[in-house]
Structure 1
Amino acid sequence: MALALLLMNIAATAVFTTTLCYYYGGWKKRHKVATLVAFISWWLPALLLTLLPVDIATTFYRSCILSNPNISLTQTSGVVEGPRCKPPLFHTDPAVFLLIWHVVYWGSQFLTWVLIPLIRSYATAGDFTALGKLKTALLDHVFYNASYFVIFMGALIYLIASRIVSFEFRYLKVLLITTGNTWGLFLVIIFFGYGLVAVPRSLWLAGNPVASLHQAYFCLSKRNMELNDEEDKLKELNLQIIEIKNRLPANHPLQPFVLTVFKQTQERKSVLGASCDPIGTPVATVDISNLSVKTLARMHRSLKATQQRCARALDLYNDAVQSALWIEDVNIARGKCFSPTFLREHSDSLNGVIQNFAPYLSTIMLRIRWYWYCYLRLWLLRVLALLLALTSLLMVWSECTFSVRSPTLSLVAGLLNAEAKQRDYLLVEVSSFLALGYLSFAVFYTVFHLRIFNYYRLVGNHHTDENSLLFCGGLACRLAPSLCLNFLGLAHLDSHLSQTTLTIPLSRIDSTAQPSTTIETTYTRFMGHLDIIPFIAKGFNVYFPILVVLLCLCTYFQLLTRLLHQMGIAELMDSPGYKLSVSGDSIVDDVIQDGRLLLRKERLLRSQARRIQSSTKVDIDKVQVNGHPPKSDRCPQIACRYHSQPNVRV
């Protein structure tokens, strides 16, 4: 039973990761090997985070068994039976957990440090042969890991010279794990500080119709500017390639490579539309005297990246228009009596089926949806935001007090200990899963909303490139082990951090085992402790809570956003929670006004296109009835532009 549930857990995380990876990356347009590696790098951290609560409940169960001398141990099936200690639902043998932790951790580290950097460079390389791409990937990989190797060797030499650690394999293994987890722990602190505040704040603002509308205007204007910038870059790059093709002699040795790059520009023209056509753009002068294969490879690499960004910006603009239209319609409907017109305009296929087969039920559903979107949903989002804000406060309190031994101030540790005393290990699993799940959601909310210029950005609807997918996978492989260690500290299950243990009588210790009166999770036994590096362990209990609180305060008061705003940079203003001013003279107000005008033009174009489509349909019906051709077989200019180019921008 336990093994079947374990396999179900593994399969469920695989299905969840597959769905998430498909939503962001897709399978058809991306490199198959890169997509597979990205899936594995997302799946292993998910497996680690979902199995740790089972390990925690199993640890409490083993403590119950070993602390009660009236219970006999059975080692036949790996499950210890006892009349007073009922095993948890997902109970698994510690040896199985130890094997899983070895596979998951070292597999994720191999992906992070070896495979992911290689495939990232290979997928984005502009070389024209597989061997050339592999050579470029290997060179990038050497430069990528050289700095980390120098830092690790310097720390190792210092620790051995100071006689802090001895030159033994077990010490080196723990040192290697600790060094990686220390860097991951600092990233976890940063993402905690943002995610624990941003998650409830985003829900609160989603429940505020006016703030949501202003944010939609701002986002639309930003997406329009991004799309214009990417189109200009792509036009300039296309012009350079066309000029090189025209000026290079037909019998030149580089002509096949130029044709390969030129073919890339023609293949994506149908996807990007006429907006990226270089016609009408000033011709740039290109020096072909120094042209080489490496130059063309760099140009090919830049072309692929620019085309990907342009297509992504196009879809982001479409999504921003749809979202802004919906939010504006909801705000207009809130100021009126029941008027489901906007719901009919945004109806889906299910509503059409209901309208055809059950018209009365369709009217009732429209009324329910109208009250839901205009009132009930907004209040529900605010209530949920308050609950998550309270949860974030409790998590911050636990982060600040997990090192206190007596009394137990960490709420996570107090809750798990209380449930363990009642010997309700299923509740221990559920509580651990919910607490760790919220912390993981806060951390990965930051990861999924993070944007590092044009290098890393996750965009839904299959518009995330291979580099961003793999970068996110490598980041998840670094964060998940450190996040688990942090949670064990909150639960007082890492004795070297909290100075608390699950004690058992000396008479119950196995004579063949090492003399210890503590029981720790299998994950802690495998990972070791942070105190192998003294200068990290001594200050950990001090700087960790301070950094968490400071980062949460900086996120709440948006100090970085305000600083950028004072510098005239509006890049981060579309992040949830910015207090939009109404003075009329700020950068944000100008961007919001521009977004409002853009949406007005888009709404006008779409309404005209609908009228043209309806009139065209009427003309076709007249032809079918009377046999005469319509008066005009061409649509007006504005409608033709709308149909040929979905995004008409200012």
Structure 2
Amino acid sequence: MAVAVLLINLVGTAFFTTTLCYYYGNWRKQHKVTTLIASVSWWLPALILTLLPVDIASAYFRSCTLSEQSVSDNFSVPLDNTPCRAPFFYAEHTVFLVLWHIVYWSSQFLTWLLIPLMRSYTRAGDFTPLAKLRSALRDNIFYYSSYLLIFIVALMYLIMTQAISFDLRYLKVLLITTSNTWGLFLVVIFLGYGLVEVPRSLWTAGNPVASLQRAYFQLSKRNMELVDEEERLTEIVLQVDRIQLLLSTNHPLQPYVQIVSKRAHLPPENPVPNPESERRGGVRIDELDDPIDLSTLSLSQLARVHRSLKSTQHRRNRARALYEEAVKHALWIEDVNAFRAKRRPVSAFLQDYHGTVLHKCASKWSSCLLLVQWYWRCYLRMWLLRVLAIVLSLLSLIMVWSECTFSVRTPTLSLVALLLKAEAKERDYFLLELSSFLTLGYLSFAVFYTVFRLRIFNFYRLVGSHHTDEHSLLFCGALLCRLTPSLCLNFLGLAHLDSHLSQTTLIVPRAVSKTLDALADSMTGATKVGQVFISSSNFSVESSYTQFMGHLDMIPFIANGFNIYFPILVLLLCLLTYFRFGSRVLHQLGVEQLIETPGYGTDRSGQSVNSLADDAIQDGRLLLRKERMTMFRNSRSYASDADSDSEQKFPNLLEHYLRTKTQQSPDRVRLLQSKKETPSPTFRTVSIPVEDFDLISHQSTSVPVEYSEDDVQREFSLHTNSGLERYPRW
């Protein structure tokens, strides 16, 4: 059975992580060794997370057999008629010890040695593999030296204080303990964010009004990022052109300059003309801010230019992909809000957002399926997200409570420990494995949700649809290998499967202690024979993972303070995340942030004073209107083609909407009219029917707008090109 468990985990986790790594990475352009290392660094943590519940159930089964033998030696009457049956997924203690040695040390080798080298190697701008390797070693000298110095200082301190003896066994435990301490510190930070943000993101996704405002806000930010990256790339390309133009043809660096120039003029992926970058493209070579002195040009300087060019090109492509994704998402949310307001199925919406599968259904079933999908997309999906957000909020509260009370062993206050002990009492090991997997899965999802949303100065970022660079994939793999062992050790502490972490550190009143102890015994199974009580808590349950990893009380300051300050820090970070402390600080510093807390950013009269966020939302609206107009014009320009319907992104919805509502929907056009672009002095006031055309919500406070009839007709003119150049593509 142990071989079957191992094979199932190996194949299942390998398939899942490989698919996930393929979704984020670009295997066609990445180095094969980098792809292999990134896939393995994502696979090993998944293997640990799926095998640990089996280890826990196996540990409880071994404890059950030991307690049964102990009772049979002391009592002639059996205390329990239920025998100890092995779990469905079961493996021996020695198998897990060998497995944890291989998986743990492999992951540590990746996260501390191999991945840092590969990250520097992939970012290097040198022109030969040997030169890239030298640059990678040079970049990591300080990294390795600092960690080695810290470890030597800690080791000398522990030896001088006689906390440990200079022994190979203690040295191994010290290495594991120091690595886990750093990992637990990161786990606390990521848990404090993820336990709050995961339910809140689902709740926001179930709110159409908040989703639309956030979609506008994100679209504006993505556009600014795209403009900035286009400007940076233009400057670097001009710098490369200057070097190529002024460098003599017989210069020894000319072959390397040709390599850089060839890369600089590669065609962009999915080019989208941008007016800001086009205007920047008119800059002359002699107007560069920081030109390179060609008299002192060296191979190392050219390698730095090449390195900067590679990273900037990737960031530009990534910004473009994010912008296109933001456009699609905003279009979807806006259309859902528009057709929700009608409160009846609309043929245009059903025809556009139904998917290709329903085309193959019979005609009598197709209309029913379209109707069901309309209700699902407009109503049921949002309510389901809200219900799921409430369930996960309760689960987050349980996790926070368990984090704050897991150090109290008697009485048992950790809800996770109570749940697992109650299932162990019933000897339902399959349910025990399932509960452990779900609980550990939610904790890991909260931590990894933070990892996947982490963004460090636009340098590290995970973007789907094959737009994540090699450096970000490796950095994520290193974080996963570093966090997963510490997260599992934290979960074992919550479940009271680490005896050193489960010591009583808080003083509980005697009366309260007796009541809670009686309740805990009723749930965990104290058995009475005559006047003798035998509690299952008397038998120490410790998994193979804990025995291999050791305990966190080797270093004195961890043993004396970790059990108290660790849960307090989790609770504090959750509160800071709930009240959006970081966003408020950035907002006060002038960085635009969308803070959806009721009452924040408004004055006493209820008017918004958050001008930065409001401006970003209005910019997002404007951008989306321009994108709609561009898509509509493209669809009309290819209307004569017989295959145009399969090439358009949103043909049926946009054509139906703009063909039938042109004269009635100034909301589609009003944000296109800027103050500088309104030449006609003739205006009229139009009231917009909220139920049909207000795409924000039925609670919108927007007032009737003024617009020029001539400009509107020019915008929607399908047979002239007079108005096409006034609103270029973004």
Fold agreement, TM-score > 0.5: yes
Gaps in structure 1 of 5+ consecutive residues: 74-81, 505-515, 620-633
Contact residue 462 and residue 473 of structure 2 kept, 8 A? yes
524, 534, 542: which one pairs with 2:546? 524
Residue deviations 1:142-177 (CA, integer Å, cap 9, x gap): 222211111111111111111111100111110110
Contact residue 340 and residue 370 of structure 1 kept, 8 A? no
Structure 1 residue 595 corresponds to structure 2 residue 620: yes
1:608-623 equivalence runs, <5 A: 608-615=633-640
Structure 1 residue 159 corresponds to structure 2 residue 184: no
Contact residue 2 and residue 92 of structure 2 kept, 8 A? no
Tell me the distance in 2 between the aligned counterparts of 1:294 and 1:416. 59
- Tell me the CA shift for residue 612 of structure 1: 1.8
1:583 match:
608
Tell me: CA distance 1:550–1:279, structure 2 relative to 1, closer, same or farther (3 Å). closer
Tell me: CA distance 1:424–1:386, structure 2 relative to 1, closer, same or farther (3 Å). same
Return the letter of the residue paired with 2:554: I
2:346 match:
339
Tell me: CA distance 1:431–1:555, structure 2 relative to 1, closer, same or farther (3 Å). same
Task: Give 3-state SS (helix, strand or coil) of 2:86's partner.
Answer: coil
Contact residue 71 and residue 83 of structure 1 kept, 8 A? no
Tell me the distance in 2 between the aligned counterparts of 1:422 and 1:246. 80
Tell me the distance in 1 between the aligned counterparts of 2:133 and 2:46. 30
Contact residue 2 and residue 90 of structure 1 kept, 8 A? yes
1:627 match:
none
Contact residue 2 and residue 89 of structure 1 kept, 8 A? no
1:198 match:
197
Tell me the distance in 2 between the aligned counterparts of 1:99 and 1:425. 23
- Tell me the CA shift for residue 520 of structure 1: 1.5
Tell me the distance in 2 between the aligned counterparts of 1:575 and 1:172. 50
Return the letter of the residue paired with 2:581: L
1:560 match:
582
1:485 match:
489
Residue deviations 1:20-45 (CA, integer Å, cap 9, x gap): 10011131121211111011001101
Kindly indicate which of the two structures has a greater share of residues assigned to helix. 1
Tell me: CA distance 1:637–1:415, structure 2 relative to 1, closer, same or farther (3 Å). farther
- Tell me the CA shift for residue 287 of structure 1: 2.2
2:405 match:
401
Contact residue 53 and residue 433 of structure 2 kept, 8 A? yes
Return the letter of the residue paired with 2:196: V
CA RMSD of aligned residues (A): 2.7
307-316 or 267-276, which deviates more:
267-276
1:417-436 equivalence runs, <5 A: 417-436=421-440
Tell me the distance in 2 between the aligned counterparts of 1:96 and 1:479. 23
Return the letter of the residue paired with 1:28: R
2:302 match:
296
| TM-score (ref. length: structure 1) | 0.89
1:630 match:
none
Contact residue 531 and residue 537 of structure 1 kept, 8 A? yes
355, 360, 367: which one pairs with 1:353? 360
- Tell me the CA shift for residue 460 of structure 1: 0.4
Contact residue 65 and residue 84 of structure 2 kept, 8 A? yes
1:648 match:
729
439, 454, 457: which one pairs with 1:453? 457
Tell me the distance in 2 between the aligned counterparts of 1:461 and 1:302. 23
Structure 1 residue 136 corresponds to structure 2 residue 135: yes
- Tell me the CA shift for residue 5 of structure 1: 2.8
Contact residue 53 and residue 429 of structure 1 kept, 8 A? yes
2:318 match:
312
2:283 match:
281
Return the letter of the residue paired with 1:205: T
1:245 match:
244
- Provide the identity percentage: 60
608-617 or 278-287, which deviates more:
278-287
Tell me the distance in 2 between the aligned counterparts of 1:517 and 1:618. 73
Tell me the distance in 1 between the aligned counterparts of 2:479 and 2:182. 11
Gaps in structure 2 of 5+ consecutive residues: 74-80, 505-523, 527-537, 645-718
Residue deviations 1:60-110 (CA, integer Å, cap 9, x gap): 00000011128999xxxxxxxx97100001100111100110011100010
1:622 match:
none
Tell me the distance in 2 between the aligned counterparts of 1:218 and 1:187. 30
Tell me: CA distance 1:384–1:67, structure 2 relative to 1, closer, same or farther (3 Å). same
Tell me the distance in 2 between the aligned counterparts of 1:499 and 1:264. 61
Task: Give 3-state SS (helix, strand or coil) of 1:583's partner.
Answer: coil
- Tell me the CA shift for residue 452 of structure 1: 0.4
Tell me the distance in 1 between the aligned counterparts of 2:175 and 2:238. 50
Tell me: CA distance 1:202–1:312, structure 2 relative to 1, closer, same or farther (3 Å). same
1:90-101 equivalence runs, <5 A: 90-101=89-100
2:632 match:
607
Residue deviations 1:90-132 (CA, integer Å, cap 9, x gap): 1001111001100111000100111101111111110001110
Tell me the distance in 1 between the aligned counterparts of 2:525 and 2:483. 30
569, 582, 589: which one pairs with 1:547? 569
Structure 1 residue 324 corresponds to structure 2 residue 330: yes
| TM-score (ref. length: structure 2) | 0.79
Tell me: CA distance 1:466–1:576, structure 2 relative to 1, closer, same or farther (3 Å). farther
137-146 or 208-217, which deviates more:
137-146
Residue deviations 1:518-554 (CA, integer Å, cap 9, x gap): 4411111100001000111111111011101100000
Tell me the distance in 2 between the aligned counterparts of 1:607 and 1:166. 75
Tell me the distance in 2 between the aligned counterparts of 1:210 and 1:199. 19
- Tell me the CA shift for residue 468 of structure 1: 0.4
Tell me the distance in 2 between the aligned counterparts of 1:17 and 1:638. 50
Residue deviations 1:177-218 (CA, integer Å, cap 9, x gap): 000000000100001100000000000000000000000000
- Tell me the CA shift for residue 9 of structure 1: 1.5
Task: Give 3-state SS (helix, strand or coil) of 2:553's partner.
Answer: helix
